[in-house]
């Protein structure tokens, strides 16, 4: 009988979209009849996020400790009849592959959250990756890179878009609470609030965002645009503190202190997005664009980079695209939306509809569990063949 139980392995000390993924999908997995468990580093943010998501994760002291704990982990898995293992970092695969080598009935999966940047076809990687049932690429852009990089046939490298639960992002603030939220974000009355949520690291485009705002402050002051940079300011929040200081120096040096507000880490991102008028995502080479679909689900018009995977998500019916190396292109796109409230409203409503229809967590987990089940069928058929 098929066991609807899965172990998600994420042995990371960091904190970003990759690390957030297991806790994000666990509630939906349960709604769809699965029993997920997590394996994380003891004391990590991944472990605490899994606990907050209702799990009692298995924990190890280190990546090396996970290898030493394999007998204990396998005993637990067999006792609980967990036959599906899903890894989220390439280094996690060492644990997953050894589990499968010791217990061949396991279905082994790996989500490549970044997209390979170099070939992985040497003897060690061939030994590791040929044991995968599926490698998930989170966009067509990353799948194209992965087809070239990984020693796997095309049918075992699947594109599986990420998803979110759109309901928490549904706009719900009445005018007075929304105005209060805008004040808490430092947005002056009557301003057009243009925000960039996410980790403050060079690849996310905050420097270009500030350059575009500086151009607008100089060339179109009548638009009264106010910039909001939402994200943690410290390393343990996933950001680069030196880069944060560079951004703050730029703001001071270019007279933007009254035009730009750094919010710091916010646990109420859906309401922050609702308080904005426009969302910008100028990432250099986004593997997917989780921030894009979050903003879309909040019914915000989005300006995204015309590179990486973002063009797979955005089109002119729901937002705008701009070159992530050209501040003037971003200034032009921001000015177009800032000057036209009706256009912003129309794009925002269309964006929410697309996010709910195409990028929901429900649809993501349905596709994911179909792959889990298909692997179980293959394993069962393999065991049933004579001589297997």
Percentage of residues in the chain with pLDDT exceeding 90?
Answer: 89
- pTM beyond 0.85: the answer is yes
Please give the residue that has the higher pLDDT: either 387 or 341: 341
SS3 278: strand
Percentage of residues in the chain with pLDDT exceeding 70?
Answer: 96
Q: Please tell me the predicted confidence (pLDDT) of residue 17.
A: 86
Q: Please tell me the predicted confidence (pLDDT) of residue 380.
A: 54
Average pLDDT over residues 350-355: 97
Residues 6+ apart with CB under 8 A from 156: 132, 133, 134, 135
pLDDT, one tens digit per residue, over 49-87 is: 999 999 999 999 999 999 999 999 999 999 999 999 999
H helices of the chain, where? 17-31, 45-52, 63-68, 70-80, 93-102, 123-129, 140-149, 175-184, 206-219, 241-253, 269-275, 290-297, 310-313, 327-338, 341-358, 361-384
Average pLDDT over residues 366-370: 96
The CA distance from 26 to 230, in Å, is 26
Q: Is the pLDDT of residue 288 over 60?
A: yes
Please give the residue that has the higher pLDDT: either 7 or 121: 7
CA atoms within 13 A on the CB side of 172: 9
| Length of the chain (residues) | 388
**Mean residue pLDDT across the chain:** 93
pLDDT, one tens digit per residue, over 136-149 is: 999 999 999 999 99
C-alpha to C-alpha distances, 168 to 171, 263, 295, 299, nearest whole angstrom: 8, 20, 11, 12
pLDDT-derived band at 29 (thresholds 50, 70, 90) equals: very high
pLDDT-derived band at 283 (thresholds 50, 70, 90) equals: very high
Q: Please tell me the predicted confidence (pLDDT) of residue 205.
A: 96
Q: Please tell me the predicted confidence (pLDDT) of residue 338.
A: 97
Please name the helix (run of DSSP H) or strand (run of DSSP E) that holds residue 320, with its range, or none: strand 319-322
The CA distance from 114 to 29, in Å, is 23
The CA distance from 56 to 113, in Å, is 24
Q: What are the backbone angles phi and psi of residue 37, rounded to the nearest 5°?
A: -130, 155
Please give the residue that has the higher pLDDT: either 118 or 323: 323
Average pLDDT over residues 350-368: 96
- Closest by alpha carbon to 314, among 332, 340, 294, 336? 294
pLDDT, one tens digit per residue, over 155-210 is: 999 999 999 999 999 999 999 999 999 999 999 999 999 999 999 999 999 999 99
The CA distance from 95 to 151, in Å, is 19
Domains, the chain, in order of start with CATH, read 5-163+361-384 (3.40.50.2000), 167-358 (3.40.50.2000)
Q: Is the pLDDT of residue 383 over 70?
A: no
Residues 6+ apart with CB under 8 A from 327: 208, 211, 212, 215
Q: Please tell me the predicted confidence (pLDDT) of residue 119.
A: 86
pLDDT, one tens digit per residue, over 209-249 is: 999 999 999 999 999 999 999 999 999 888 999 999 999 99
pLDDT-derived band at 18 (thresholds 50, 70, 90) equals: very high
The CA distance from 279 to 300, in Å, is 7
Q: Please tell me the predicted confidence (pLDDT) of residue 379.
A: 57
The CA distance from 145 to 117, in Å, is 7
């Amino acid at each position: 009988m098929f066991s609807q139980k899965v172990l998600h392995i994420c042995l990371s000390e960091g904190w970003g979209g990759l690390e957030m993924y297991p806790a994000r999908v666990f509630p939906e997995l349960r709604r769809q009849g699965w029993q997920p468990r997590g394996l994380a580093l003891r004391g990590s943010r991944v472990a605490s996020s899994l606990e907050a998501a209702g799990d009692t994760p298995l924990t190890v002291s280190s990546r090396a400790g996970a290898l030493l704990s394999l007998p204990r982990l396998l005993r637990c898995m067999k006792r609980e009849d967990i036959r599906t293992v899903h890894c989220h970092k390439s280094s996690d695969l060492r644990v997953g592959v050894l589990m499968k080598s010791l217990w061949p009935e396991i279905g082994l999966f790996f989500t490549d959250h970044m997209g390979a940047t170099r070939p992985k076809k040497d003897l060690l990687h061939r030994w590791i990756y040929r044991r995968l049932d599926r490698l998930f690429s989170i966009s067509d852009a990353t799948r194209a890179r992965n087809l070239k990089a990984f020693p796997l046939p095309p049918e075992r490298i699947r594109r599986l878009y990420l998803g979110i639960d759109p309901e928490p992002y549904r706009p719900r603030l009445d005018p007075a609470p929304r105005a209060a939220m805008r004040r808490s974000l430092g947005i002056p009355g009557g301003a057009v609030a243009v925000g960039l949520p996410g980790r403050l690291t060079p690849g996310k485009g905050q420097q270009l965002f500030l350059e575009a705002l500086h151009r607008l402050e100089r060339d179109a002051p009548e638009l009264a645009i106010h910039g909001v940079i939402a994200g943690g300011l410290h390393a343990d929040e996933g950001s680069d503190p030196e880069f944060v200081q560079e951004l703050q120096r730029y703001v001071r040096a270019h007279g933007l202190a009254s035009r730009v507000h750094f919010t710091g880490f916010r646990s109420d991102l859906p309401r922050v997005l609702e308080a904005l008028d426009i969302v910008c995502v100028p990432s250099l080479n986004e593997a997917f664009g989780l921030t894009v679909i979050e903003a879309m689900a909040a019914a915000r018009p989005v300006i995204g980079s015309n590179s990486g995977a973002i063009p797979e998500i955005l089109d002119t019916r729901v937002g705008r695209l701009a070159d992530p190396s050209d501040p003037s292109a971003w200034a032009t796109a921001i000015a177009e939306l800032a000057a036209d409230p009706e256009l912003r409203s129309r794009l925002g409503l269309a964006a929410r509809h697309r996010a709910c229809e195409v990028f929901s967590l429900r649809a993501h987990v349905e596709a994911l569990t179909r792959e889990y089940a298909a692997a179980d069928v293959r394993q069962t058929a393999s065991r049933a063949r004579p001589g297997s």
